[in-house]
Amino acid sequence: MKIVVIGGTGLIGSQVVTMLGEHGHEAVAASPSSGVNTLTGEGLAEAFAGADVVVDVSNSPSFADADVMNFFTVSTTNMLEAEKAAGVKHHVALSIVGAARLPKSGYLRAKVAQEKLIEGSGVPYSIVEATQFFEFVTRIADSATVDGVVTLPHGYFQPIAAVDVATVVARTAAHDPLNGRLEIAGPEAFPMDDFIRTALGRTVETGPDAEYFGTTLEGRELAAGEGAELSTLTYEEWAARA
Ligand SMILES: NC(=O)c1ccc[n+]([C@@H]2O[C@H](COP(=O)([O-])OP(=O)(O)OC[C@H]3O[C@@H](n4cnc5c(N)ncnc54)[C@H](OP(=O)(O)O)[C@@H]3O)[C@@H](O)[C@H]2O)c1
pLDDT > 70 fraction of the chain, expressed in percent and rounded: 100
In the reported structure, the alpha carbon of residue 207 is separated from the centroid of ligand 1 by a whole-number distance in angstroms of 31
Which ligand 1 atom sits nearest the alpha carbon of residue 133? 3
Quote the pLDDT of residue 1: 97
Quote the pLDDT of residue 242: 84
Q: What is the C-alpha to C-alpha distance for residues 116 and 103, in angstroms, rounded to an integer?
A: 14
Question: pLDDT tens digit string along 157-202?
Answer: 999 999 999 999 999 999 999 999 999 999 999 999 999 999 999 9
Q: Is the CB of 59 under 6 A from ligand 1?
A: yes
Q: Is the CB of 93 under 6 A from ligand 1?
A: no
Compute the Cα dihedral for 57, 161, 142, 214 and give only its sign: positive
Q: Is the CB of 78 under 6 A from ligand 1?
A: no
pLDDT at 83 over 90: yes
Nearest to residue 115, comparing CAs of 28, 179, 41?
Answer: 179
Q: Is the CB of 114 under 6 A from ligand 1?
A: no
Q: What is the pTM of this model?
A: 0.98
Summarize the confidence of residues 123-130 as an average pLDDT. Answer: 98
pLDDT at 108 over 90: yes
Question: pLDDT tens digit string along 5-63?
Answer: 999 999 999 999 999 999 999 999 999 999 999 999 999 999 999 999 999 999 999 99
